[in-house]
Structure 1
Amino acid sequence: MGVRFSSKTKEAIAGYIFAAPIIISIMLFTIYPVFAGLYYSFTNYQPTEAQKFKMRFIPEEAMMFHTSVFPDEEDVSYEEVAEFFNPVDFVLYDVGVNLNERQIEAVKNYLDSERLIKDFLAGKLKEEMTVAEFMERYMKAESNLFKRYIPDFIGLSNFKKMAKDQYFWISLKNAFVYSIIVVPVQTLLAILLAVAANMNIRGRGFFKAVFFIPAISSSAAISMIFWLIYSKPGVLNRLLGYLGMQPIDWLNNPNTALGAIMVLNVWTTAGYFMITFLAGLQGIPRTIYEAAEIDGAKFWTRFWKITFPLLRPQILFVSIMGIIGCMQVFDQIYFLIKNMRNITISYYIYKNAFEYHNMGYASAIAMVLFLIILFITTLQRKFMKEEAYF
């Protein structure tokens, strides 16, 4: 007889089947990258090296470059070629593969130079092959070192390097300054927008849409619009010119570039967080405001004594999400900032990973950023209680 399951077990199995796609996606694209980044932070991993043993080449051409000998030449002896052949230099410079110290020692001790030279002179190296296939054929031992790229474990070297890296500290400082200014401003502005959108006035649906549109617009498109505003011949400088002021290069001047990006970020995110506060406002009982009006409380008194305190759960959520977003700000910096004095830490991670091809060091910086955000978020949850009053 087949196995019979209870109704609860069947429901659980069905639930896991339906949830399987999202569970697998989270494991592949969230959990695995976190642990991979942690591992790489203790290595010298370089993405450009990852495919080096799969590179295809023609051994005969590499031998010709190395020895300056053509296999079809007459009167070329094995001894003459062997005299000029250096196995390590051949693999490093003529095959074009970077090797670590262990691999260099293996090539020096185990590469079958005699067989390689004889095959070269006999014209047997014309076939294209991968580096891994070549090493498998001509290494007497330890050919497994050349089958796939394994970064060297370097311990805490990346973190020690970070402590002496001036651009790491500049980018970290900029991220903190950015967060300290942007998060309170965008939170307060979002609350005010939500209060305005919650009022019983004509056209409030239109104003809600206008406030929210920047949040759903393409970051690249918005960055280009603000580039047209901030550029030296742009809209902002033209307006300032009418007031008799000299044009300012807002994005290339280190004293103004980061502030200009802060204004852009506040404008794009305030409308998004407005929706969160609007939901909170609509959950506050109307009777509380009516009682305050009867007692003679003015608008701002009601705002600071009733609205603001009762939005505490939403304020906590928005401040946490704002801190996380600001500490990780990247796209506006990537599109608009061209000097290293105004970069943020996420952009510096990108430069190390994809421009300097130093993924191990980038992973170490990413781990530090993760710990900083985790620490700040923990402090926020500890000192900003989210319980509501009703």
Structure 2
Amino acid sequence: MHRLTNRHILLGITGGIAAYKSAELTRLLKKAGADVRIVMTPAATEFITPLTLQALSGHPVHLHLLDPEAEAGMGHIELAKWADLILIAPASADFIARCAAGMGNDLLTTLCLATTAPVCLAPAMNQAMWRDPHTQSNIGSLTATGMKVFGPDSGEQACGDTGPGRMLEPQALAELIAAEFEYLALSGKTVFITAGPTREPLDPVRFISNHSSGKMGYALAQAAIDAGARVKLISGPVNLTAPERVECIQVETAEEMLTASLEGINSCDLFIGAAAVADYRPVAVAEHKIKKGNEEIMELRLVKNPDIIASVAALSQRPFTVGFAAETHDLLSYARSKLERKKLDLIIANDVSVPGIGFNSDDNRVTLVSASGEVPLPQTSKRLLARQLIEHIAQHFNQQMAANEKTTG
């Protein structure tokens, strides 16, 4: 079920007594980490209210083909692009017939025509309707186009008949939907990532900072999402848009970043400190803008900032902790020293003195340093490098988790 983390599931509900099971199905999909949007046919609203499903999914229920609330009034296109998978549960005989005929006379059939996502059907109807040759022909036509059919189950029906036609139970449907997605290396895990610079104010208009663009941290957040993780991104001031499906916390100073990093840390499985955190901050921040005087030299008194990555690694029940070492010389010796001093699990070392990589660039090359050795990763885009890093980090993380389970087991 962890495979559903961050997945976009569009649940279509048609008219039938089994619609009451869609409430429990929605709850199970949400519990497994999916984002669920619901589309109902007019007949479905006679069996269960949109308000119930809105409360369970956390989103307004979609009912109409042409939605004045949607961008450009084209809600069906937006939903079709949004979905990772469409599940129709229950799928009535009428809906199956209209879908097999290629009709688009309501929102749900139109979505099935407009989407490139997989479409799955969970039939629910009287046993005689299921056995009818027309229904069987329609099911054959839909499966020939690539649609998947889950069920139906056999047993006692609401009308009193016994036989095939019952919709599969919500738990079974949720498991079948999860199985449609490939297992991902960080499925169901919670990852915290810090990114970008911090700003330490001198006065209301000036601050101490650095050249970090945040691109590496943001790329890691996207790669972790793609690997199935829930991601909290704690970002300093950058000109970047947070990836979809990421909880992004905006901060300015190192102290604010530490506070945000420790909030909810007990739920964190893996912490990646990619931010370039200022080592020092001014002892005092001037209330008003500091005016230029006649002196040739101005002295600033600075105090050390909290060490965020070391603070996380020092926790009694700490997450798997990964740091960064941005150096201008003696890269690997400094990186290994930092790994040992701060008791990190891994450290990612990059030489920011090399032109064209590191700060503010779109490319980077790094060396992944662990207690057991070093893995150099050649220069490539930060987007591709982030994927490689997440694969390596996930491998080390999962190996450690397996070792811990073996020890405690």
Could you say which TM-score interval applies, normalised by the shorter chain?
under 0.3
TM-score (ref. length: structure 1) = 0.24
Which structure has greater strand proportion?
2
Higher helix content, 1 or 2: 1
* TM-score of the two chains, using structure 2 as the length reference: 0.23
Larger radius of gyration: 1
Relative contact order (alpha carbons < 8 A, sep ≥ 6): 1 or 2 greater?
Answer: 1
